[in-house]
Amino acid sequence: MKKQLFWVLIACFTFVACQKDEKQADKGGNSTKEMPEKNINTTVAIMDVVGTYTGMFGNNKITIGIKDLAANGEARGYSVVAGNNRPFLGTYQQKGDEYIFSVKEPGDDKYDGEFEFTIPAGHQNLVGKWIPFNKGQLTEKTYNLAKREFKYNTTDGKYAFASENTLNIAEIENMTKTDLRMMRNEMYARHGYSFKMKDMRAYFENQDWYMPMNTDVRNMLTPIEKKNEELIKRYEKYAQEYYDEYGR
């Protein structure tokens, strides 16, 4: 009889304790029901901020990519501008729906510097300034970039057919060296190639479809583009040796 009474008392005690914990949770205590929602919301916001932002950076177009935002406040990413692809590392903090960044490039390139920028609520643009490490030769820049996902599209550009179909000799044999060069570089531009050559950079950065993303696209060219690149280069040389001599 005493043994049965003992187990009844244990069961009652356990039931009361459980009821007490549930009431505390309902009153805003350490509820395990609310924590996952908070974590999910934070993860969604971070994933919304991660991505690529592009726009003008002085006279050149830049793409800033945010790759990773760690829980400890560390931020990793990169910038692509004027033929340079540079990683950066730094910190971020969240204030309401805004994300505030302070990140630095490695410093082993003469064009490296520090980015300070904010991604406002909505997470569709990135606004800030860049401070060069080499302040004697480079100037500080401000920028307002739009969030944009890079997409390779064979229909972009004046010579889109060079990425869509295999070229034949009749299509290019009477083209000037300038046009052939533009056709070839346009294939690279469709893959987001960031040009060091000022004339190519100036031309493509004025095209709405263009977005600098890479400094080496050799392995990104399609089989059709590789075949066309080889043919175009042959005729660029031909145009230089013969057509240019006669002013054609």
Distance CA 7, CA 56 (A): 76
Q: Is the pLDDT of residue 61 over 50?
A: yes
Does residue 83 come out as left (phi exceeding 0), alpha (psi in the -120 to 50 range) or beta?
A: left
Q: What domain count does the chain have?
A: 2
Domain membership of residue 14 (yes or no) is no
Same domain, 136 and 173: no
The predicted structure's pLDDT at residue 191: 98
158 or 41, which is more confident?
Answer: 158
**How many C-beta atoms lie closer than 10 Å to residue 19's C-beta?**
10
The rounded distance, in Å, linking the Cα atoms of 61 and 201 is 9
pLDDT digits (tens, 9 = 90+) for 93-137: 999 999 999 999 999 999 999 999 999 999 999 999 999 999 999
- Is residue 246 pLDDT above 80, yes or no? no
Same domain flag for 129 and 202: no
pTM above 0.85, yes or no: no
| pLDDT over threshold 90, residue 230 | yes
The enclosing domain of 64 has a CATH number of 2.40.128
The answer to whether position 13 is within a domain reads no
- Other C-beta atoms within 10 Å of 99: how many? 23
Q: Is the pLDDT of residue 35 over 70?
A: no
CA-CA distance, 49 to 56, in Å (whole number)? 20
- Considering the domain architecture, whether residues 80 and 118 belong to the same structural domain is answered as yes
Q: Give percent of the chain with pLDDT exceeding 90.
A: 76
Position 152 in a domain: no
CATH number at residue 230: 1.20.58.1690
> Of 112, 147, 182, which residue constitutes the final position of a domain?
147
Q: Is the pLDDT of residue 139 over 80?
A: yes
Q: Is 3 exposed, middle or buried (0-12, 13-18, 19+ CB in 10 A)?
A: exposed
**Residue 121 domain-assigned?**
yes
Decide if pLDDT at 248 tops 60: no
Q: Is the pLDDT of residue 214 over 60?
A: yes
User: Which of helix, strand or coil describes residue 147?
Assistant: strand
**Domain-ending residue, one of 87, 114, 147:** 147
The length of the chain, given as a count of residues? 248
**Cα–Cα distance measured from residue 30 to residue 207, given in angstroms and rounded to the nearest whole number:** 55
pLDDT at 3: 46
What is the average pLDDT score of the chain?
86
How far is the C-alpha of 219 from the C-alpha of 225, rounded, in Å? 11
What is the C-alpha to C-alpha distance for residues 236 and 88, in angstroms, rounded to an integer? 39
How far apart (Å, rounded) are the C-alpha atoms in residues 95 and 92? 10
Q: What backbone torsions phi and psi does residue 247 show, to the nearest 5 degrees? A: 70, 25
pLDDT (average), residues 59-68: 97
Rounded average pLDDT over 202-226: 97
On whether both 131 and 168 belong to a single domain, the answer is: no
Domain range for 58: 42-147
What pLDDT, on a 0 to 100 scale, did the predictor assign at position 222? 98
The residue among 147, 178, 208 that closes a domain is 147
Between 3 and 239, the more confident residue is: 239
Tell me: do 114 and 52 sit in the same domain: yes
- Please, which pLDDT band fits residue 46 given cuts at 50, 70 and 90? confident
Residue 237: predicted pLDDT: 86
61 and 130 fall within a common domain: yes
158-189: pLDDT as tens digits: 999 999 999 999 999 999 999 999 999 999 99
141 and 78 together in one domain: yes
Pair of tokens at residue 12: 């009652």
My answer on whether 53 and 143 are in the same domain is: yes
DSSP 8-state symbol, 11: H
Residues 242/180, Cβ–Cβ less than 8 Å = no
Query: What pLDDT is recorded for position 218?
Result: 95
Q: Which two tokens stand for residue 59?
A: 């006279």
**Residue 26 within any structural domain of the chain:** no
- For the segment 3-21, what is each residue's pLDDT rounded down to a tens digit? 454 444 444 444 444 454 4
Residues 6+ apart with CB under 8 A from 36: none
Q: Which two tokens stand for residue 38?
A: 């908070």
User: How far apart are the C-alpha atoms of 226 and 212, rounded to whole Å?
Assistant: 20
